[in-house]
Amino acid sequence: MIVAVDGPAASGKGTLARAIARHYGLPHLDTGLLYRAVALSVLRMELDPAVEADAVAACGFEDGLLADPVLRDDDTGRVASIVSAHPLVRAALFQRQKRFAQQPGGAVLDGRDIGTVIAPEADAKLFVQATPRIRAQRRHAELKARGDVTSFDKVLADIRARDQRDSERAVAPLAMAADAALLDTSYLSIDIAVSKALAFVEAQLSTRR
Ligand code: CDP
């Protein structure tokens, strides 16, 4: 069984995808990490993320890079949203995500285009949303806990800029699949959001059985 969890930055999709994976005993892939790894490689190779050929040259990163804590930095996320707009970067990462989704027994993937492009055949699809201000508060708290002193206003401006870039790009924009369930986590605790997400998944699975 494949579960697709999509949504904008800091909407809670990663937390929910991990909880769903744990609940069903499925492997989980945070696809944002792949784009973050391309971003970090571009920066380390001193190439230009806005130039498609430069970003493509960074797609052959070593798997070990996926464990680098620098991937979680705000700056890496910002550059990830620049490299991820290039069609050839998305094409270079496509098969890897598709293979993960189609492994025997199933998988949970979270990202921006899982339910629309990577696994349109998914058995359950969630689109996780929250207001920009609340997402910025969460991201700001996360960064602060890691010793990052970026101001709240900058985090909010970054979230808005990324929403715009991710939604307006020509290829695989951030968009809710027509058959996805919408979960707004703005005013939900993690526990309640997880139980609502599991209830949505169960409801979708029961209609497809
Ligand atoms: O953690 P956060 O939600 O801030 O971001 P992420 O999921 O790690 O993704 C970083 C960036 O990669 C996003 O802003 C998107 O531009 C891009 N991305 C994408 O285009 N497609 C995906 N399936 C996952 C991420």
**Domains defined for the chain, CATH in brackets:** 2-194 (3.40.50.300)
pLDDT for res 105 = 94
80 CB under 6 A from ligand 1?
yes
Indicate which residue's Cα is closest to atom 16 of ligand 1.
81
CB 109 within 8 A of CB 2: yes
77 CB under 6 A from ligand 1?
yes
What's this model's pTM, rounded to 2 decimal places?
0.94
The span from the first CA to the last CA of the chain, in angstroms, equals: 11
Indicate which residue's Cα is closest to atom 21 of ligand 1.
112
Ligand 1 atom, smallest distance to 113 CA: 23
* Cα 125 to Cα 108: distance, rounded to the nearest angstrom: 10
State the DSSP code for 67: G
For 127, phi then psi, to 5°, come to -120, 115
pLDDT for res 22 = 98
89 CB under 6 A from ligand 1?
no
For 24, phi then psi, to 5°, come to -95, 0
pLDDT for res 94 = 97
pLDDT for res 48 = 98
* CB atoms closer than 10 angstroms to residue 148: 15
Indicate which residue's Cα is closest to atom 9 of ligand 1.
32
pLDDT for res 209 = 67
**Per-residue pLDDT of the chain in tens (209 residues, 90 and over written 9):** 999 999 999 999 999 999 999 999 999 999 999 999 999 999 999 999 999 999 999 999 999 999 999 998 888 999 999 999 999 999 999 999 999 999 999 999 999 999 999 999 999 999 999 999 999 999 999 989 988 888 999 999 999 998 998 888 888 888 899 999 999 999 999 999 999 999 999 999 998 76
* CB atoms closer than 10 angstroms to residue 112: 25
pLDDT for res 170 = 86
